């Protein structure tokens, strides 16, 4: 099969498994609006994630917990208008998991698909039943294990997971369970590098790490963190590739000087 990366073709869910088989690393970043999504897509990124980090990165909340389905839909639609080649994945926010009426959560997720998401990321294994329902309904699902930001209160902060032997074994078991349920990839967040390496070897589907070392099948980061646009603390594992925060401030100060002169 032709390699979509080399042919500059549209990335699909099935491209990712091929990348793992061919030892080609998968690249992913978040985007929440039209202009940045267009830049990422044109730069050749494999996956664009409309993450529920929207809450803290864009909407000014302390964490992802207050993000609504309406918030996700609004930003997803803007990103959809920009993305041509990258695979477009959207997060199911915590509030989208809360409605327990039969079939309602899948109906909500279908709204994300109707708005142009090609796959949905669902955190943790607490919603394994929902993950299975989605897959049965033909919705591609990406898993997310390790530190799951929607559990920030339960976990007592953004803390490294899987540090003990038992916790590491549980993560490997969770990854295998998600694979058996039919997810097409798994995000592994804030896990020691050796544990993320073991998980990656234990499953055939690609793993995408964030703060999980170098040996996952791909990497994902929050765009604003790598561009120096994050207001407040950036996680230690983030490499900053530019300081657009400072550049923007300087540009705006030049503008103010020009106008006032």
What amino acid positions are annotated as catalytic residues?
189
Nearest residue (CB) to ligand KIV, 122 versus 139: 122
Restricting to residues 14-43, name those near ligand KIV by CB under 6 A: 30
**Considering the rule CB under 6 A, would residue 91 count as an interface residue with ligand KIV?**
yes
Task: State the Cα angle at 62 between 218 and 49, rounded to 5°.
Answer: 25
Asked whether position 52 contacts ligand KIV by CB under 6 A, the answer is yes
The β-bridge partners of 187 are 144, 208
53 near ligand KIV, rule: CB under 6 A? yes
Q: How far apart are CA 81 and CA 35, in angstroms?
A: 10
Binding of ligand KIV by 220 (CB under 6 A): yes
What is the rounded CA–CA span in Å between residue 27 and residue 219?
Answer: 6
Angle, to 10 degrees, between the axis of helix 104-114 and the axis of helix 69-82? 30
Q: Mark the segment that binds ligand KIV (CB under 6 A) among 44-52, 72-80, 161-169, 191-199.
A: 44-52
The stretch near ligand KIV (CB under 6 A) out of 16-24, 51-59, 103-111, 132-140 is: 51-59
- Binding of ligand KIV at residue 225 (CB under 6 A)? no
**Is the CB of 95 or the CB of 220 nearer to ligand KIV?**
220
Q: CB of 142: closest distance to ligand KIV in angstroms?
A: 9
Of the ranges 48-56, 126-134, 174-182, 239-247, which one interacts with ligand KIV (CB under 6 A)?
48-56
Asked if 222 touches ligand KIV (CB under 6 A), the answer is yes
Q: ∠ CA 68-117-186 to the nearest 5 degrees?
A: 90
CB-based closest residue to ligand KIV:
51
Stretch that binds ligand KIV, among 49-57, 80-88, 158-166, 245-253 (CB under 6 A): 49-57
Residue 130 Cβ vs ligand KIV, minimum distance, rounded to whole Å: 17
Distance of CA 120 to the CA centre of its chain: 9
Q: How near is the Cβ of 52 to ligand KIV at its closest, in Å?
A: 5
Q: Which residues bind ligand KIV (CB under 6 A)?
A: 30, 49, 51-53, 91, 187, 189, 210, 220, 222
């Amino acid at each position: 099969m032709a390699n979509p990366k080399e042919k500059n073709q549209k990335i699909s869910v099935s491209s990712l498994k091929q990348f793992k088989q061919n030892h080609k690393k998968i690249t992913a970043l978040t985007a929440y609006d039209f202009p940045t999504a267009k830049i990422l897509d044109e730069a050749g990124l494999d996956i664009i994630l409309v993450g529920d980090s929207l809450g803290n990165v864009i909407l000014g909340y302390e964490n992802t917990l207050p993000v609504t389905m309406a918030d996700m839909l609004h930003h997803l639609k803007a990103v959809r208008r920009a993305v041509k080649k990258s695979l477009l994945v959207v997060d199911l926010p915590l509030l989208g998991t809360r409605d327990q009426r039969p079939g309602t959560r899948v109906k909500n997720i279908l709204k994300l698909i109707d708005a142009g998401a090609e796959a949905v990321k669902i955190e943790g294994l607490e919603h394994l039943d929902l993950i299975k329902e989605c897959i049965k309904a033909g919705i591609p699902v990406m898993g997310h294990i390790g530190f799951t930001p929607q559990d920030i209160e339960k976990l007592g902060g953004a803390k490294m997971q899987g540090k003990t032997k038992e916790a590491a074994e549980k993560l490997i078991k969770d990854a295998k369970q998600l694979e058996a349920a039919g997810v097409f990839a798994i995000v592994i967040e804030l896990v020691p590098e050796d544990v993320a390496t073991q998980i990656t070897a234990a499953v055939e589907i690609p793993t995408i790490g964030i703060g999980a070392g170098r040996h996952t099948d791909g990497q994902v980061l929050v765009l604003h963190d790598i561009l120096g646009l994050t207001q407040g603390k950036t996680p230690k594992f983030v490499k900053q590739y530019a300081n657009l925060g400072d550049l923007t401030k300087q540009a705006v100060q030049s503008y103010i000087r020009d106008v006032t002169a």
